[in-house]
């Protein structure tokens, strides 16, 4: 999916002995959005914006070792190994011959290194330059920023598409607000700014500006603008929409003391698991301290300062726990951490209360895009049926307020709350609205300048779309069996107008789909090289829905 940005110059941070100036260059293709003020909570803002940077650069996907150099060395040594093996016929003569060949080979390698040295040196300098001066060539660092009447907030997504970050700063963070215009825009946020943010100090005045002059476009100054075309994968945009929709789901909520989060991070830093299950099991009992059990060690950490105030006892497991280390930098400045758990294997959210700022960390069910995510959690379907006229009423009411609760919008639009919630859900899935976990209101936020192609983003693959159709139109039955030491086996029967299929899957201790089988043509032809078939996904979705 291609996104076009045009920035007025580049974002900059100016720092000297007496003060610091932060100036973000907004996207001039979008509606004018600007903000000018002076920072008051300097240290807290520095730590929070640095934690947001940690989200942007986060990439916990498995990276195999590069064995190219070893394979080249092994190929060169193959002749020597063969000679050493065969030297039993005349050990002395063979040893002399090997010594001569090694001398010649050493000279050849030295000559090769001499010839190729300028190339290797130039290549190293080139990549060093890209990494230091133009790190955007390595990864995209352009977050979305929104200016609202009561706060401004940054949003970003990680490289591995599994972690979402949002930093909200109320106007109390600024001791002087000169002018602002509400709206949403993309800002030029190069990686070099991270190092400059570390220079913010309490004894320096810090000017914060989303440049309002960036929208005064003049032909004579066209060279001041630079256009950026970013081809983002559909999965990146879809993930952004899914994590926004997940915020609206019911969840088990509790508060954690900063020292409890410190204990979690300390354990993860000290120990590295070598086998599964790699999860945290939260044991929630009404009126009792929250318990967190780290598997596979079964290490129990009792959060004595944090009581669970819910009405029902629950036990929820989450995976991808090492992403919680992003919260480390916020522990010294946080008052508390509010945790929202959607369920075992489902997304989770951690809201750090920083006083006049809130940092929201959203984690998907898994670190990698495995089958469990594709088959178990689809936030973009099904959709509520709301008429176009009612959707326009709700959106118009929200535009005049910028943020509101569903009951307020229902009163303003003259509709019932159910219809308003349905419309807000559709707008959230379309990237136009975001739910604020901290304040409990819906906020206006246009993710992109142009409407998103929802037909492209609704499903991650044709098989997922087919699974959704099967769930709606076909008769799905299954038998559930518990296999000791393995997990839950599901034997399904999916009856369609054309045939009956019999998918079988096993859900292991990590809630992953394993040992899938099916008698459909897709599985017979592709096995698992192209992922699970629609019948397996439909069986998993039917099981998860119950």
Q: What angle (nearest 5°) sits at the alpha carbon of residue 522, between those of residues 518 and 524?
A: 60
| pLDDT recorded at residue 201 | 84
pLDDT at 2 over 60: no
User: What pLDDT score does 212 carry?
Assistant: 55
Token digits of residue 130: 């890209």
Mean pLDDT of 363-368: 78
pLDDT confidence tier of residue 379, bands split at 50, 70 and 90: very low
Coil/strand/helix, residue 221: helix
Of 306 and 59, the one with more pLDDT: 306
3-state secondary structure of 216: coil
Answer for the pair 188, 24: CB distance below 8 angstroms, yes or no.
yes
Query: What separation in angstroms does the CA of 57 have from each of 141, 142, 153, 154, 376?
Result: 8, 11, 19, 15, 27
Q: Would the pTM count as exceeding 0.85?
A: no
Q: What is the mean pLDDT of residues 148-170?
A: 88
Q: Is the peptide bond before 277 cis (omega within 30 degrees of 0)?
A: yes
Report whether pLDDT(37) > 90: no
Q: What's 11's DSSP letter? A: -
SS3 (DSSP) at 69:
helix
Kindly state the average pLDDT of the residues 202-224: 56
Structure tokens at 293: 């059990």
| Partners of 174 in beta bridges | 39
- 379 vs 243: CA distance, rounded Å: 8
Mean pLDDT of the chain: 78
Whether the predicted pLDDT of 272 surpasses 80 = yes
Helical packing angle, 388-401 and 417-429, nearest 10°: 80
What are the tokens at 40?
A: 């008051």
What end-to-end distance do the CA atoms of the chain give, in Å? 35
Summarize the confidence of residues 484-513 as an average pLDDT. Answer: 86
pLDDT interval class at 136 (50, 70, 90): very low
Above 80 in pLDDT, residue 410?
yes
Q: What is the mean pLDDT of residues 383-389?
A: 73
Strand partners, 120: none
The pLDDT assigned to 214 comes to: 39
Contact 464, 536 (CB under 8 A): no
Sign, CA dihedral 408-409-414-419, equals negative
- DSSP run (H or E) holding 294: strand 289-294
The pair of three-digit structure tokens given for residue 393, joined into one six-digit string = 């009423």
Q: Which token pair is 78?
A: 């193959």
**What is the band of 19 on the pLDDT scale with cuts at 50, 70, 90?**
low
Q: Report which of residues 141 and 433 the model is more confident about.
A: 433
- Cα(349)–Cα(362) distance, integer angstroms: 4
Report residue 227's pLDDT band, with 50, 70 and 90 as the boundaries: very low
Does the structure show a pLDDT above 60 at 26?
A: no
171 vs 423: CA distance, rounded Å: 30
* pLDDT score of 369: 52
Bridge-based pairing of strands 205-210 and 19-26 is parallel
pLDDT at residue 475 in the model? 87
Mean pLDDT, rounded, for 506-513: 74
Q: Is the pLDDT of residue 529 over 80?
A: no
For the chain, give the number of residues. 546
Which residues lie closer than 8 Å to 510 by C-beta, 6 or more apart?
A: 276, 277, 278, 279, 319
Q: How many CB atoms lie within 10 A of CB 90?
A: 11
Question: Stretch 108-112: mean pLDDT, rounded?
Answer: 84
Supply 354's token pair: 């920083």
**Binning pLDDT at 50, 70 and 90, where does residue 131 land?**
low
* CA-CA-CA-CA dihedral for 430, 433, 436, 439, to nearest 10: -150
Query: In whole angstroms, how far apart are CA 102 and each of 87, 165, 185, 534?
Result: 15, 57, 63, 59
- Over residues 477-491, the pLDDT tens digits come to 999 998 887 888 999
- Residue 315, pLDDT > 90, answer yes
- Report the sign of the C-alpha dihedral through residues 453, 454, 457, 461, in that order: negative
Question: So what's the pLDDT on residue 32?
Answer: 67
pLDDT in tens, 87-109: 555 667 767 777 888 888 888 88
- Tokens 């099991």 belong to 281
Looking at the predicted structure, is the pLDDT value of residue 432 above 50?
Answer: yes
Q: Report the pLDDT averaged over residues 124-130.
A: 68
The DSSP code for 27 is B
The residues pairing with 2 across neighbouring beta strands, listed in sequence order, are 231
Half-sphere exposure of 136 (CA within 13 A, CB side): 14
Query: Averaged over 406-428, what is the pLDDT?
Result: 87
pLDDT band, very low/low/confident/very high, at 331 (cuts 50, 70, 90): very high
How would DSSP label each residue in 449-497? SSPP-HHHHS-SSHHHHHHHHHHHHSEEEEEEEEETTTEEEEEEEEE-S
DSSP 350: E
Asked whether residue 199 carries a pLDDT value surpassing 90, the answer given is: no
Report the share of the chain in percent with pLDDT over 70. 75
Residue 468 has pLDDT above 70, yes or no: yes
- Of 96-100, 390-394, 403-407, 446-450, the least confident: 446-450
Q: Among 151-155, 279-283, 434-438, 533-537, name the most confident range.
A: 279-283
Residue 382 has pLDDT above 70, yes or no: no
pLDDT at 228 over 50: no
Distance between CA atoms of residues 185 and 28, nearest Å: 9
How far apart are the C-alpha atoms of 152 and 144, rounded to whole Å?
A: 11
How many Å apart are CA 206 and CA 100, to the nearest integer? Answer: 69
Is the pLDDT at 470 greater than 60? The verdict is yes
The C-alpha R_g of the chain, in whole angstroms, comes to 28
Q: Are 354 and 294 in contact (CB under 8 A)?
A: no
Compute the distance between CA of residue 373 and CA of residue 512 in angstroms, rounded to an integer. 9
| CA separation, residue 184 to residues 373, 397, 419 (Å) | 30, 18, 26
């Amino acid at each position: 999916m291609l996104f076009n940005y045009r920035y007025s110059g580049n974002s900059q941070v100016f720092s000297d002995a007496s003060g610091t100036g932060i100036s973000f260059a907004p996207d001039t293709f979008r509606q004018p959005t600007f903000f000018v003020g002076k920072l008051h909570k300097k240290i807290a803002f520095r730590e929070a914006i640095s934690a947001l940077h940690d989200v942007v650069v986060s990439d916990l996907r498995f990276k195999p070792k590069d064995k190219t150099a070893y394979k080249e060395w092994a190929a060169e040594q193959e002749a020597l190994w063969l000679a050493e093996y065969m030297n039993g016929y005349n050990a002395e003569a063979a040893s002399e011959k090997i010594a001569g060949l090694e001398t010649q080979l050493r000279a050849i390698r030295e000559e090769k290194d001499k010839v190729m040295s300028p190339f290797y040196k130039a290549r190293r300098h080139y990549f060093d330059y890209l990494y230091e001066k133009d790190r955007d060539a390595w990864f995209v660092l352009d977050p979305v920023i929104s200016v609202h009447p009561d706060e401004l907030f940054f949003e970003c997504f990680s490289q591995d598409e599994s972690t979402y970050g949002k930093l909200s700063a109320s106007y109390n963070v600024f001791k002087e607000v000169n002018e602002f215009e509400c709206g949403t825009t993309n800002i030029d946020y190069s990686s070099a700014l991270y190092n400059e943010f570390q220079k913010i100090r309490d004894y320096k005045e810090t000017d914060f500006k989303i440049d309002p002059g960036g929208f005064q476009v003049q032909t004579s100054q066209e060279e001041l603008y630079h256009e950026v075309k970013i081809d983002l994968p559909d999965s990146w945009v879809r993930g952004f929409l899914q994590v926004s929709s997940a915020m609206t789901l019911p969840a088990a909520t509790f508060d954690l003391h900063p020292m409890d989060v410190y204990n979690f991070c300390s354990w993860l830093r000290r120990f590295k698991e070598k086998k599964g299950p790699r999860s945290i099991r939260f044991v929630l009992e009404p009126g009792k301290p929250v318990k967190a059990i780290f598997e596979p060690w079964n290490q129990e950490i009792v959060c004595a300062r944090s009581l669970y105030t819910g009405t029902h006892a629950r036990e929820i497991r989450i995976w991808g726990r090492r992403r919680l280390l992003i919260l480390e930098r916020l522990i010294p400045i946080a008052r508390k951490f509010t945790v929202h758990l959607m369920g075992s294997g489902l997304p989770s959210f951690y809201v750090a209360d920083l006083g006049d700022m809130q940092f929201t960390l959203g984690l998907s069910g898994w670190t990698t895009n495995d089958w469990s995510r594709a088959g178990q959690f689809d936030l973009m379907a099904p959709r509520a049926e709301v008429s176009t006229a009612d959707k326009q009423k709700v959106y118009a009411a929200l535009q005049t307020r910028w943020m509101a609760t569903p009951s307020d919008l229902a009163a303003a639009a003259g509709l019932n709350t159910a219809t308003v919630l349905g419309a807000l859900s559709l707008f959230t899935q379309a990237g136009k609205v975001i739910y604020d976990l901290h304040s409990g209101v819906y906020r206006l936020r246009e993710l992109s300048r142009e409407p998103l192609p929802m037909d492209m983003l609704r499903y991650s693959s044709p098989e997922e779309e087919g699974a959704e159709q099967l769930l709606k139109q076909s008769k799905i039955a299954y038998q559930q069996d518990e296999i000791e030491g393995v997990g839950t086996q599901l034997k399904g029967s999916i009856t369609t107008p054309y045939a009956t299929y019999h998918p079988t899957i096993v859900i292991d201790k990590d809630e992953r789909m394993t040992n899938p089988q099916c008698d459909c043509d897709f599985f017979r032809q592709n096995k698992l090289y192209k992922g699970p078939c629609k019948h397996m996904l439909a069986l998993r979705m039917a099981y998860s829905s119950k």
